[in-house]
Amino acid sequence: MKIIIIRHGETVENKKGIITGQMPGHLSKKGLKEAKELAKELKNEKIDIIISSPLKRARETAKIISKFHPGIPLKFDNELKEMNFGKLQGKALSKLGIKMQDIFWLSPKYDGENIRQVYMRAKKFLGKIRKLYSKKTILIVGTATINRALVCAIKKIPTPKALKIIANPNYIVKGVFRLQD
């Protein structure tokens, strides 16, 4: 199984430093341009299915990409939602006096998810697609945190180390991965 993991384009909220979490998020002009450029870059890639987060920013990116792959199924899966940052969602990071790395660990204090829950969601999702799409090429359109969790689960990074990687906002995720059937 071949998995291509990408993140949605830049959002208006990203530009403003707002913690979006499971809020919809709106692609900025730059984000729309990034999605279109990525779609063109992927147009000759053999893809059997596109699975996206249902959040608006990822949905829009996935739909733009799917235009270059007519007839390929496009599905949305709740397991691919971004981490729920609880009451911190919609707030400007600069006004909270907290570093992003700390928010990943403090989120449950604000009625959000913890980083371990995101990692377990990623593992559950991978188990599901492994059963459904063995020997297929899957394009996943996600968000920053769930994408990092997916990479850690694919690479079988031990939980304590994986949780540190997932909670690191500077860890860039994009690439192609293979899962052995």
Could you give all domains of the chain from N- to C-terminal order, each with its CATH number? 2-178 (3.40.50.1240)
Quick check: 11 and 20 in contact, CB under 8 A?
yes
DSSP 8-class letter at 13: H
Quick check: 16 and 95 in contact, CB under 8 A?
no
What number is the average pLDDT over the span 9-22?
A: 93
By percentage, how much of the chain surpasses pLDDT 70? 92
Minimum mean pLDDT range among 17-21, 33-37, 48-52, 161-165: 161-165
Give residue-wise pLDDT tens across range 72-92. 999 999 999 999 999 999 999
| Separation of alpha carbons 98 and 68, rounded Å | 41
Q: What is the pTM of this model?
A: 0.92
Q: Please list, residue by residue across 93-121, b when 16 or more beta carbons sit within 10 angstroms of its beta carbon and e when fewer do.
A: beebeeeeeebbebbeebebbbbeebbbb
Residue 105: pLDDT above 90?
no
Report residue 17: phi and psi, to 5°: 75, 25
DSSP 8-class letter at 175: E
| Separation of alpha carbons 116 and 114, rounded Å | 5
pLDDT band at 104 (very low <50, low <70, confident <90, very high): confident
pLDDT number for residue 176: 63
